Structures are given as structure tokens and as C-alpha cells.
């Protein structure tokens, strides 16, 4: 979604009402799920400051640019 927003494909001026029948719910991961994710290298961010989040998004965007994904 962020990639689409930064690419200009979506934005506040294009908002529409959400189709509630298409929503999904994802529960918190169980302990064994967290362990499996950590083994795969997933890093969880807790209570990140806004500056940390912005830096993280910029880093991901730069990586996507390098791959040609954006």
C-alpha cells in the first residue's frame, strides 16, 4: 500500500468506502509462529518512534528502487 501511495497510484483524494465483505483479520502470531519468523530473519519493531519508522520506509523504498520494484 505504501508503494502505491508514494507512486501516486492512491491517495486521500481517491478514497472510497471500504467494502466490509472483503476485509481480513490476522490474529497475533502464536509463540511458535514468532520463533519460525525469527529463524527466517524477520525482525519485529516494538514502540518505534516516528523517525525510526520513516527511516525504515525510506530504506525499504531504496531497496525496492534498486530492484526496480517501484
pTM of the model: 0.34
CA distance to 16, 25, 36, 62, per residue, from 54 (Å): 26, 26, 27, 12
pLDDT digit string (tens) for 23-46?
Answer: 888 888 899 999 999 999 988 877
What band does 69 get if pLDDT is binned at 50, 70 and 90? low
Q: Average pLDDT over the chain, rounded to whole?
A: 81
What does the DSSP 8-state code read for residue 49?
-
Residue 70 above 70 pLDDT? Answer: no
Amino acid at each position: 500500500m505504501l508503494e502505491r501511495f508514494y507512486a501516486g497510484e492512491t491517495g486521500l483524494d481517491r478514497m472510497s468506502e471500504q467494502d466490509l465483505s472483503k476485509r481480513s483479520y490476522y490474529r497475533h502470531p502464536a509463540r511458535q509462529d514468532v520463533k519460525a519468523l525469527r529463524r527466517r530473519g524477520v525482525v519485529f519493531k516494538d514502540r518505534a518512534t516516528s523517525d525510526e519508522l520513516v527511516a525504515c520506509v525510506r530504506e525499504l523504498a531504496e531497496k525496492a528502487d534498486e530492484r526496480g520494484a517501484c
